[in-house]
Amino acid sequence: MVRLNEIDWMGATLLTATPLMCVYSLFYVPLCWKTAVWSVLYYYITGLAITAGYHRLWSHRSYEATRPYEWWMAITGAGAVQGSIKWWSRNHRAHHRWTDTEADPYSAHKGFWHSHILWMIFKEDNKKLGKVDVSDLNKDPVVAWQHRNFVPVMLFMGFLFPTLVAGLGWGDWRGGYFWAGTTRLTFVHHATFCVNSLAHWLGEHTFDDRHTPRDHFFTALATMGEGYHNFHHEFPSDFRNAIRFWQYDPTKWLIWLASCFGLTYNLNKFPDNEIQKGRLQMQAKKIEALKRKLNWGVPTAELPSFTFDEVRNLVREKGRQLIIIEGLVYDVESFVDHHPGGRMFIKSGIGRDMTNAFNGGVYDHHNAARNLLQGFRYGVLVGDVPESAKSKDE
């Protein structure tokens, strides 16, 4: 049973009231095309202020920016109503440093809905929250100003400003508030929240699988490019989340475009050599996992050892159908009648070293034959084979 004193009433009120007003808008507030365009535009303005500003600029310092750019991100970011830059970035740095642990403010291990929204509705023990360095944020005048004045700036940019634009612009005061204000805000909220939840649940571990972050195109679509989250957790100092030209990352495009006008600079990219290493290592790990599902024969380390004389005795006295190829002894009894080249060729090699014949002396066998041969492993040959027992070219 949840106690009332465990609820963060400010967060709970905001995060339940806005979706309810969104539902109300669907049924009772007409949507004209101008307000629809403004709502979508303001959604991207405030959403990108979170992804490009709060996240990649202030949380990770993945690039630098001019003061006008920083003021724009700070003011429009307040319109996303997700807390101040300082509060948001402090939690996000803790999330990166303590991913998937008790010190992670929105750990995916506590469940999908906890990481998506419940961590803001129920009070957390601040003593458990992981410690991080925010000295740079404390010294930043833009961050400090926004933190001190967050409530009035948030109320104006989150609710009053979108209403004023629609109201003064084309007389739609009600639509401006309910569509460009609360409905837009609901979508901005849950787009950001999906980075903490969906991006840790849906997709691939492209660069590392020790933690929950994953890469997925759908999550990128829902989060303005933040969905390539496995890449981001591996290379958080990179201003990009998506490195392929075809991957959806409007936040990266905005930062790059701003750099063309001198508004952003020192855009950080992690060395491509290290990125490719991570990708290749994960591909190798996935291949190894697939290989473990297949039968590759008895490992050579587990096979008994035989001398040539012992192999020949097993053939002559016990009737074993044994062939030697490249230092291994194979029992081919079950394959003699299925050999594509006919049983005569394989019978002629029983009790002999057929390495030369197998590798081109008679026929240069394909990879499929070599894979099939692994299933017939019988032992490891020790010692030499007499020249008279070795196959010759035909």
Q: Is the pLDDT of residue 213 over 90?
A: yes
| pLDDT band with cut points at 50, 70 and 90 for residue 362 | confident
Measured distance CA(31)–CA(20) in Å, rounded: 17
pLDDT band at 306, cuts 50/70/90? Answer: very high
Overall average pLDDT of the 232-261 stretch: 96
Q: Which of 198-202, 238-242, 288-292 has the lowest mean pLDDT?
A: 288-292
pLDDT at 6: 81
Determine the pLDDT at residue 2.
Answer: 60
Q: What average pLDDT does this structure show over 7-17?
A: 91
CATH superfamily of 300-389: Cytochrome b5-like heme/steroid binding domain (3.10.120.10)
Residue 389's pLDDT is what?
Answer: 86
Residue 151 confidence class, pLDDT cut points 50, 70, 90: very high
Please give the pLDDT value at position 50. Answer: 98
pLDDT at 173 over 60: yes
For 392, list phi and psi in degrees, rounded to 5. -115, 165
- Give residue 286's identity as a one-letter amino acid code: K
- Average model confidence (pLDDT) across the chain: 94
Residue pLDDT, tens place only, 88-100: 999 999 999 999 9
What is the mean predicted confidence (pLDDT) over 63-81? 98
User: Percentage of residues in the chain with pLDDT exceeding 90?
Assistant: 87
pLDDT of residue 21: 96
The secondary structure of the chain, three-state, reads CCCHHHECHHHHHHHHHHHHHHHHHHHHCCCCHHHHHHHHHHHHHHHHHHHHHHHHHHHCCCCEECHHHHHHHHHHHHCCCCCCHHHHHHHHHHHHHCCCCCCCCCCHHHCHHHHHHHHHHECCCHHHCCCCCCHHHHHCHHHHHHHHCHHHHHHHHHHHHHHHHHHHHHCCHHHHHHHHHHHHHHHHHHHHHHHHCHHHCCCECCCCCCCCCCECHHHHHHCCCCCEHHHHHHCCCCCCCCCCCCCCCHHHHHHHHHHHCCCEECCCCCCHHHHHHHHHHHHHHHHHHHHCCCCCCCCHHHCCEECHHHHHHHHHHHCCCEEEECCEEEECCCCHHHCCCCHHHHHCCCCCECHHHHECCCCECCHHHHHHHHCCEEEEECCCCCHHHECCCC
Residue 377 φ/ψ, nearest 5 degrees: -55, 135
> What's residue 7's pLDDT?
86
Say if residues 328 and 365 touch (Cβ distance below 8 Å): no
pLDDT at 394: 54
Domain positions in the chain: 4-284, 300-389
CB neighbours (10 Å) of residue 179? 28
pLDDT digits (tens, 9 = 90+) for 96-128: 999 999 999 999 999 999 999 999 999 887 778
Q: Please, which residues have CB within 8 angstroms of residue 10's CB and are 6 or more apart in sequence?
A: none
Q: Over the stretch 308-317, which tens digit does the pLDDT of each residue have?
A: 999 999 999 9
Q: In a 10 Å sphere around its CB, with 0-12 CB exposed, 13-18 middle and 19+ buried, how is residue 38 labelled? A: buried
Structure token digits, residue 194: 């999906």
What percent of the chain has pLDDT above 70?
99
pLDDT in tens, 26-61: 999 999 999 999 999 999 999 999 999 999 999 999
What pLDDT was estimated at residue 345?
Answer: 85
pLDDT of residue 110: 94
Instruction: Indicate the pLDDT class of residue 361, thresholds 50, 70 and 90.
Output: confident
**HEC-encoded secondary structure of 165-218:** HHHHHHCCHHHHHHHHHHHHHHHHHHHHHHHHCHHHCCCECCCCCCCCCCECHH
pLDDT-derived band at 1, boundaries 50, 70, 90:
low
Q: Report pLDDT for 393.
A: 61
Residue 365 has pLDDT above 80, yes or no: yes
Check residue 124 and give its pLDDT.
81
